[in-house]
Structure 1
Amino acid sequence: MNLLSTRIGRLTAFFFLYVTEGMPLGFTAVAMATQMRRGGVDPAQIGAFVATLYLPWSFKFVMGPVVDVVHSDRLGRRRGWIVGCQIMMILTLLATTPINLATGLTAITWVIFAHNVFGATQDVAIDALACESLKEHERGLANGLMFAGAYIGNGIGGAGILFLIDWFTKNGINPQWASFYAAGAIAAVMFGVSIHLKEPERPHRRGREDEIPDAIIIDEVVTYARTALKAFFASRASLFALVFALLPAGAYSLSLALQTNLAVEFGLTDKQIGWLSLWSTILAASGCVIGGLISDYVDRRRVIALYIILTALPAAFLAFKMQQAGWIMPIDVTAANPPKPSSRLLTWFWSAVLVYNFLNGLMYGTRTALFMDICTPEVAATQFTAYMSLLNLVIAYSAWWQGWCIERFGYPTTLQYDALFGCLCLCALPWMTPRRTDDQQDDQQTDETETPT
């Protein structure tokens, strides 16, 4: 069985591969952040924790040239990296089981940091395989499905774990055993999908099948780095794509630790937060698929601009409602009688989060396809991975500054700043003209030939 040989197989394979990418982030940013806040950890510390865990994803471009050059034809140029990283992801998840989240913040940070290093390296190999395998007319839908898979993985690692924690707690079981659930989900994808990826055979360029001298590796990495830098700065579109990637694409706060902090402070149980996360995941995943599909038929830049503006509206709306309700600063969730929000404020919170996640999904499914359009095929793995790395760097610094801002200025101000800052990227978008493909050039030449004069 070769999943990469058919259109349905390719779309299915990349969907499930991205499920394994979303699980680590859901596990840390939702499940762990919820338990930390419930244990009295303040928003700034949680923001710094989430930011730290996104750092491996922010610098995964370092692995781009290595994944491109170092490989085994016997295991598969990309498959070997994917399967190897998934094994290490499973082992590091299991290593979190004995660590107490409230008292072992440093230890859990390092273990999950290592887990995300392997997750980010796996992502490099998956993205490289996608650039090599997907047809141009599949990219919009494929990227929508891929990020839908990531959102579903986020739901498995976030909502799924919270549901288990709630059930474990009611039945007297140590809730930390829930990490086995996430590890099992990754193992299922590894045995069901990853080992069945059969890449086309490539001609051997030198040496033995599975061995490349160190000098050649260094030379290849240097050559790739030079070519990638040339690709990044050789055109106006690539340069503005870098600027665009360095800025948040719309509001981010309702998908990061701010949302989790508010859910705990508003008195939601683990089960209720799990349902909020699950419905958010479903709506975001649906938005990814719909947005990616739409982008195959209309100008991607125009719809991305619309989605970015729309994501800022729920954040600004919730800021206004919290200001009206007088819910400004973080509360002590461990207090005997913490304040309770009104039912109306809870309704606005749920509504803002759910609407935001659907709109954010529309943007995600479209934005990645645009970056693929701009990439130079010869260094696709390195260039595309660099763009994706910068997107994760944005998430990391957003999580950090939002946690810092919440403690100093409160929730409404943080939400307002987030909505405004998220629209700055619109200035770069008009200059990101997609790269012309050979097919498009051939079509234009054909049209010119057939047009009567």
Structure 2
Amino acid sequence: MTSYLEIFRSRRVAVIFLLGFSSGLPLALTGGTLQAWMTVAGVDLATIGIFTLVGLPYTWKFLWSPLMDRFVPPLLGRRRGWIAATQLLLALGIAAMGAMDPVNMPWALAGLAVLVAFSSASQDVVFDAYRADVLRPAERGIGAAVSVLGYRLAMLVSGALALILSDLIGWQQTYWLMALLMLGAIAATLFGPEPETQITPPRTLAEAVVEPLREFFSRHGAWALLLLIVLYKLGDAFAGSLTTAFLIRGVEFTATEVGAINKGMGLIATLVGVVVGGTLMIRLGLFRSLLLFGILQAVSNLTFMWLAAVGKSYWIMALAVGIENLAGGMGTAAFVALLMALCNPRFTASQFALLSALAAVGRVYVGPVSGYLVESIGWVTFFGLTFLIALPGLLLLWRLRERLQALDHA
């Protein structure tokens, strides 16, 4: 019990929560919030559409992640030094965005937004690496949970709260306030401890690019682990890709009802799920958590199959949304912990960025396939199929149980 409580009193876990908030804060400011500002200001839709490309650095961040493994800033070490540098750039960039006029200076604003997105993606790379390096094995589950919690809370602040503030104090002051929050986040970086194990960085940039791949594929069962990363949340991704369309078109709920239950209650259930999942991982360990949460994710898809079969029912909808998001949050906590455990501390930035990019493959590409499936087989059969799609990942997980159990002590 003493060691259990020590995890919740850990300085490392507290810092990871705060840095998770710092990681999530910029996202909406170059996405939905910026789009709302431009819409209110009267910018034409063609220009607003082009601005959606601002988020491309998040997709390609693995390309420059080796630089953050190779080079060590002069202050605060290899991880915290880069985090502080990106936080400072973000604070300056967000403040400068607030000083722009989206109607008269759209391309200057676009340039700043790209700079902010690039700095934000870079912060994500080094934060992921720091989280994996600084947390002890027993802390990975709860560390993954609190970082997701901080990230989601920050998205609410820079998303929903920023839109409310814009009506009260104006867009410029809202962006400046967000810049102050980002500047304050540097305090969390200064407070953060260094990893307990001293690691020698790659000696050359070529080594930083090549060695992360060579090291990973030299491991026994490397290809099976990569396949597990793709498959583990694939059924969840299929079921979630068309949830909103299903609730509105498939069972004919209104947009307001879907917003309140699927988005509002669903977010709460997700946050509860990641915290509960991270807490359970302290007792269960990595493999048993992945297995239990993976089973719950698969079963949660059957609740939507039930809703599709019954038709419009508020309590079944609330139950399905609650269970699906709760299980998905628990699975996310365990999955992030898995990615952390698979990284070599010398190359954490590069390996985590590459593994997380591979994990996103399912989420990105299942949407078009899902649409064709629904049109061919209907909603009931579709959600039944998503349950079956989740099973190969669980079977592979069981086959890799000895390898995954060993990661708890790595």
Equivalents in 2 of 1:155, 1:260: separation in Å?
23
Equivalents in 1 of 2:31, 2:389: separation in Å?
21
2:283 partner SS: coil
**Aligned 8 A contact 1:289 1:362 in 2:** yes
Equivalents in 2 of 1:360, 1:423: separation in Å?
15
Equivalents in 2 of 1:315, 1:30: separation in Å?
29
Describe the superposition over 1:167-187 as per-residue Cα deviations: whole angstroms up to 9, x where unpaired: x3xx7x767975556544433
Residue 372 in 1 paired to residue 340 in 2?
yes
For residues 142-153 of structure 1, the aligned pairs below 5 Å read: 142-153=143-154
Residue 352 in 1 paired to residue 348 in 2?
no
Structure 1 residues 174 and 311, CA gap change in structure 2 (3 angstroms)? farther
Q: CA deviation at 1:280?
A: 3.5
Q: CA deviation at 1:14?
A: 0.8
2:237 to 246, 252, 260: 252
2:293 to 307, 311, 314: 307
Equivalents in 2 of 1:62, 1:116: separation in Å?
15
Structure 1 residues 124 and 355, CA gap change in structure 2 (3 angstroms)? same
For residues 163-174 of structure 1, the aligned pairs below 5 Å read: 164=165, 168=167
1:252 partner SS: helix
1:196 is matched with 191
| TM-score (normalised: structure 2) | 0.72
2:236 partner SS: coil
Equivalents in 1 of 2:18, 2:178: separation in Å?
14
Equivalent pairs, count: 388
Equivalents in 1 of 2:176, 2:382: separation in Å?
35
Q: CA deviation at 1:313?
A: 4.3
Equivalents in 1 of 2:191, 2:122: separation in Å?
19
1:428 is matched with 396
For residues 279-294 of structure 1, the aligned pairs below 5 Å read: 279-294=265-280
Equivalents in 2 of 1:163, 1:260: separation in Å?
27
Percent identical pairs in the alignment equals 22
1:186 is matched with 182
1:80 is matched with 81
Q: CA deviation at 1:235?
A: 2.3
1:238 is matched with 222
1:82 partner SS: helix
**Aligned 8 A contact 1:144 1:289 in 2:** yes
For residues 261-340 of structure 1, the aligned pairs below 5 Å read: 266-268=254-256, 273=259, 277=263, 279-318=265-304, 321-322=307-308, 325=311
Describe the superposition over 1:101-123 as per-residue Cα deviations: whole angstroms up to 9, x where unpaired: xxx9x999987665443222112
**Aligned 8 A contact 1:17 1:126 in 2:** yes
Equivalents in 2 of 1:410, 1:112: separation in Å?
42
Equivalents in 1 of 2:305, 2:31: separation in Å?
21
Q: Which stretch shows the higher mean deviation, 416-425 or 375-384?
A: 416-425
| Higher RCO (Cα < 8 Å, 6 or more apart) | 1
**Aligned 8 A contact 2:31 2:55 in 1:** no
**Aligned 8 A contact 1:163 1:274 in 2:** no
Equivalents in 2 of 1:236, 1:36: separation in Å?
51
**Aligned 8 A contact 1:17 1:193 in 2:** yes
Equivalents in 2 of 1:220, 1:160: separation in Å?
44
Describe the superposition over 1:252-294 as per-residue Cα deviations: whole angstroms up to 9, x where unpaired: 367678549968982329xx94786454344323322221232
Structure 1 residues 384 and 237, CA gap change in structure 2 (3 angstroms)? farther
Q: Which has the larger share of helix? A: 2
Q: Which stretch shows the higher mean deviation, 15-24 or 357-366?
A: 15-24
Describe the superposition over 1:14-58 as per-residue Cα deviations: whole angstroms up to 9, x where unpaired: 111112223445667876899999x9xxxxx99x998x7775444
Unaligned stretches of 5+ residues in structure 1: 1-5, 40-44, 206-215, 326-343, 442-453
| TM-score (normalised: structure 1) | 0.66
Q: Output the amino acid matched with 1:82.
A: I
Equivalents in 1 of 2:374, 2:164: separation in Å?
29
**Aligned 8 A contact 2:137 2:409 in 1:** no
Q: Output the amino acid matched with 2:12.
A: R
Residue 363 in 1 paired to residue 351 in 2?
no
Q: CA deviation at 1:136?
A: 2.5
Q: CA deviation at 1:85?
A: 1.9
Structure 1 residues 161 and 415, CA gap change in structure 2 (3 angstroms)? farther
2:16 to 7, 14, 17: 14
Equivalents in 2 of 1:411, 1:57: separation in Å?
34
1:128 is matched with 129
1:236 partner SS: coil
Equivalents in 1 of 2:161, 2:84: separation in Å?
23
Equivalents in 1 of 2:316, 2:397: separation in Å?
31
2:368 to 401, 419, 433: 401
**Aligned 8 A contact 2:339 2:352 in 1:** yes
2:351 to 383, 388, 409: 383
Unaligned stretches of 5+ residues in structure 2: 1-7, 43-47
Q: CA deviation at 1:303?
A: 2.8
